[in-house]
Each structure stands twice: as structure tokens, then as C-alpha cells.
């Protein structure tokens, strides 16, 4: 996971208004780990909240819907005065299709775009299908899969990460989800 932080931080510091990214981890339970920026990215995974082995995540089962809900609520409390780009990384084992569908349908009304990345795993389930899911006011997400983060250049990684975001932003502005 530290390599993920190292690879995405350059995009985040250029993309975010405070040059940092908010970070969560999850298993059964989600945990907000804080902001990652240029001053604290080195060793973040081994240092944040005592390091990844001490994170309060509960049993090591995936509960994507719960962390998606926590992320949505976090940004709603923050005011959502700017569009939010969420990079959601999964190693697979996705199983709460109904819960994820419900959260994504509700989140489509908000100025939040979700970029799902399947990394080095399998069983991504509904995450692969969210892009084509009906019943939302706007397509608010995308998915791509990588077997190994080392097998992709920065340029290709960023291209994949931003493939649908500009289209979403334009449509979200037209629909009044994102303020001009």
C-alpha cells in the first residue's frame, strides 16, 4: 500500500486544493487515517495510527459499503463546496452488492466522483459493473484493474485514473450537482 501512496501522491498534490489526500483503510470496519501530503507520505502506511498492523479495522473481511458510506458522510460534513475525487482501491473479495449499489446510487446526487481500482486481486464483483449501473442521476464512477502496480507507467496510471472524471465533471456541472 505504501507504493500506492507513493505513486498517486504526485497527482493528488496537483489535484487537491490543500495538496493532500484523505486516506481511509478498511476491512470489516473503516478507519480514517488522516491526510497524506508531501511532509508525511514517506512511511505513512507503517506510521499512521501506529502502523497498518494496529489499525482498528476488525476482522479482515471486506466491507466496501461501510467505508463508502463513511467517506460520503465525511465529505458531506466538510460541506462539499468543491468536487471530490475518490480513489478507491480494492484487492477483491467484494460481496455486499446491494449495499454498494445503494451507497453509489445515493452518492450520485453529490459532487463526488469514485474511481475504483482493482489491484492485484480478483473477485471485484459489482465494482466492475458500477460504471454501467442504472438508477443514478449521473454516472459517478469508473473502474480499472491492475495485476501489478509496477507494470504501469505514471502516464498510463494517471490516464486510467482520470479517464472518466472530466466527462463526469462537465455533466455534473450541467445538472447542478457541482457548482460552476
pLDDT tens for the chain, 180 residues long, are 888 888 888 888 888 878 889 999 999 999 999 999 999 999 999 999 999 999 999 888 889 999 999 999 999 998 877 899 999 888 888 878 899 999 999 999 999 999 998 888 778 888 888 888 889 999 999 999 988 888 889 899 989 999 999 999 999 999 999 986
Q: Residue 141's closest CA among 84, 99, 97? A: 84
Instruction: Give domain limits for the chain.
Output: 2-173
Enumerate residues 6+ apart whose C-beta is below 8 A from 94.
62, 64, 100, 123, 124, 125, 126, 127
Provide the pLDDT for residue 82.
85
pLDDT in tens, 72-82: 999 999 887 78
Provide the pLDDT for residue 147.
80
Enumerate residues 6+ apart whose C-beta is below 8 A from 40.
47
Provide the pLDDT for residue 17.
79
Domain covering 2-173 in this structure, CATH number: 3.40.50.410
Cell of 22: 484523505
pLDDT in tens, 79-109: 877 899 999 888 888 878 899 999 999 999 9
Enumerate residues 6+ apart whose C-beta is below 8 A from 171.
138, 139
Provide the pLDDT for residue 66.
94
Provide the pLDDT for residue 101.
93
Amino acid at each position: 500500500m505504501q507504493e500506492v501512496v507513493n505513486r498517486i501522491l504526485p497527482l493528488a498534490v496537483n489535484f487537491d486544493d490543500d495538496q493532500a489526500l484523505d486516506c481511509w483503510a478498511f476491512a470489516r470496519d473503516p478507519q480514517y487515517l488522516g491526510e497524506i501530503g508531501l511532509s508525511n507520505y514517506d512511511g505513512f502506511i507503517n506510521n499512521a495510527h501506529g502502523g497498518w498492523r494496529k489499525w482498528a479495522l476488525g476482522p479482515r473481511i471486506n466491507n466496501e459499503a461501510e467505508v463508502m458510506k463513511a467517506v460520503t458522510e465525511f465529505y458531506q460534513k466538510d460541506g462539499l463546496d468543491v468536487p471530490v475525487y475518490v480513489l478507491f482501491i480494492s484487492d477483491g473479495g467484494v460481496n455486499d452488492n446491494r449495499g454498494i449499489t445503494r451507497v453509489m446510487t445515493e452518492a450520485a446526487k453529490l459532487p463526488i466522483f469514485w474511481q475504483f481500482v482493482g489491484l492485484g486481486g480478483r473477485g471485484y464483483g459489482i465494482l466492475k459493473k458500477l460504471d454501467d449501473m442504472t438508477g443514478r442521476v449521473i454516472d459517478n464512477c469508473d473502474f480499472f484493474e491492475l495485476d501489478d502496480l509496477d507494470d504501469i507507467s505514471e502516464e498510463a496510471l494517471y490516464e486510467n485514473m482520470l479517464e472518466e472524471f472530466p466527462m463526469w465533471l462537465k455533466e455534473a456541472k450541467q445538472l447542478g450537482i457541482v457548482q460552476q
